[in-house]
Amino acid sequence: MILRLSNRACVLSGSTRFKSTLSTYFDETGKAGIILKSASAGIYENLALEDWIHDHVDLQNRSVLLLWRNSPVVVIGRHQNPWQECNLPLMRRLGIPLARRRSGGGTVFHDFGNINMTFFTSKKKYDRPRNLKVVTSALKALRPDLDVAATDRFDILLNGHYKISGTAAKIGRSSSYHHCTLLCSVDRSVLSSVLKSNASEAIKSNATPSVPSPVKNLADVDPTLDSDTIMEAIASWYNNEFGFDSPVITVDPTHEALMPGIHKMTQDIQMWEWIYGKTPKFSVCTSLVIDDVDVKLDMDIKNGTVEQCALEIPEDWLPPEMVKELTSTLHGSRYCPEEAAVLVAAFMRTRSLTADVAEKIHRLCEGVLSVM
Ligand SMILES: Nc1ncnc2c1ncn2[C@@H]1O[C@H](COP(=O)(O)OC(=O)CCCC[C@@H]2CCSS2)[C@@H](O)[C@H]1O
């Protein structure tokens, strides 16, 4: 049975029941376990849906499983450094967005071949091994020959070696959620290229590092296994394991009337200040070779913003006062190539520079921007 909780169904049903919010609707049904499936493939909408359920649903007397999938995206943990974890220039070229989730842990890649599951419970009932048992039991029920097992760091491995699922969690004061991925048929070449940083050697930071593993898709061992079948099996094993009898309820995370405040949560999670600005303080130290000249670049980045910037350049290549003016232009800039390029362009427009110096500054800035 699929109960549609979307804008359209809400209008069409005309039922007073659907005029209430999602949480009061759950209270009315009185069910102890609820299975939801997101109607959205947008990472920011889905992360906001997680936030909304965590903050608004009474999880003391109820457990919720949310099933969701996303279009291609890289998702970093709450305390990570995106410049260290992924190849941002490549992601910009491929049009793959970046998201920072509220849970800790490492960086993962999602596309439609990846399933996400979020297990919401009270803090007391938080139980990652039991949730992963739901996933492995569902897979074994579908294909009894599959060798899948959870590890003590809560990954799920295929054939004892290949990671097919990664876990993270957020524990609140009284509620919690455990969410995990499942690789069904993800584009592995995109996964490995976007998760290879172009700048990690230049960065020093105390941010949480990811733990890279060899990965495989379930479809690599059985091409007949598809995401929809797996999601259905997980839903029924969730009911089985916890003694619930919930149907899969499709929920639209853009439905503000059903989830008051979710629009603002969706906006907040896609702000630059959250995705990049929450990066723990770090420094960038690297050498660039421009026109056979060695240039040393040193920067401190706090809240994603350049706090200090120094360039060591031979005086006969670029006059020291010019270098000083240029580095002070970058102070306070977001550590991102778009904003830094705009500031450098303004710097160059407001100075009368010889063609030779303008060309040198241009090449120098290309080098500086390439590590952002
Ligand atoms: N989608 C996916 N699933 C499983 N493993 C992955 C995936 N993408 C990358 N990886 C591998 O895991 C490591 C990082 O492992 P690490 O252990 O560092 O991090 C994690 O596993 C985090 C899981 C977060 C789950 C959330 C659930 C909903 S939103 S994201 C990476 O370098 C790759 O080798």
Nearest to 48 by CA among 208, 252, 345: 252
Choose one of 221, 255, 275: the last residue of a domain.
275
Q: Judge if 200 and 349 occupy the same domain.
A: no
The ligand 1 atom nearest the CA atom of 180: 27
Q: In terms of domains, do 161 and 77 share one? A: yes
pLDDT at 14 over 50: no
Q: Tell me the CA distances in angstroms from 136 to 50, 149, 194, 274, one per residue in order.
A: 23, 7, 28, 34
Kindly state if the Cβ of 110 falls inside 6 Å of ligand 1: yes
Burial of 264 (0-12, 13-18, 19+ CB in 10 A): exposed
pLDDT digits (tens, 9 = 90+) for 56-98: 999 999 999 999 999 999 999 999 999 999 999 999 999 999 9
In angstroms, the CA 60 to CA 175 distance is 7
User: What does the pLDDT look like over 95-146, one tens digit per residue?
Assistant: 999 999 999 999 999 999 999 999 999 999 999 999 999 999 999 999 999 9
pTM, to two decimals = 0.95
240 and 350 fall within a common domain: no
122: helix, strand or coil? strand
Residues of the domain holding 308 = 282-369
Separation in Å, CA 6 to CA 160, 216, 252, 255: 41, 35, 5, 7
Cα 74 to ligand 1 centroid, rounded to whole Å? 10
117 lines ligand 1 (CB under 6 A): no
Q: Is 141 helix (H, G, I), strand (E, B) or coil?
A: helix
pLDDT above 90: residue 8: no
For residue 164, the CA-to-ligand 1 centroid distance in Å is 9
Indicate whether residue 165 lines ligand 1 (CB < 6 A): yes
In CATH, what number is assigned to the domain containing residue 328?
Answer: 3.30.390.50
Whether residue 287 sits in one domain with residue 268: no
- Name the domain boundary from 224, 254, 275: 275
Q: Which atom of ligand 1 is nearest to the CA of 212?
A: 32
- What is the structure's pLDDT at 20? 81
In total, how many domains does the chain have?
2
Predicted pLDDT at 29: 87
75 and 200 share one domain: yes
For 25-54, the pLDDT digits (tens) are 888 888 999 999 999 999 999 999 999 999
Are 180 and 209 contained in the same domain?
Answer: yes
Ligand 1 pocket, residue 167 CB under 6 Å: yes
Return all residues near 9 (Cβ < 8 A) that are at least 6 apart. Answer: 18
Q: Which value does ipTM take for this structure?
A: 1.00
- Looking at residue 316, its pLDDT comes to 93
Per-residue pLDDT of 281-319, as tens digits, reads 999 999 999 989 999 999 999 999 999 999 999 999 999
Share of the chain above pLDDT 70, in %: 95
Determine the distance separating the centroid of ligand 1 and the alpha carbon of 108, expressed in angstroms: 4
CATH of the domain at 232: 3.30.930.10
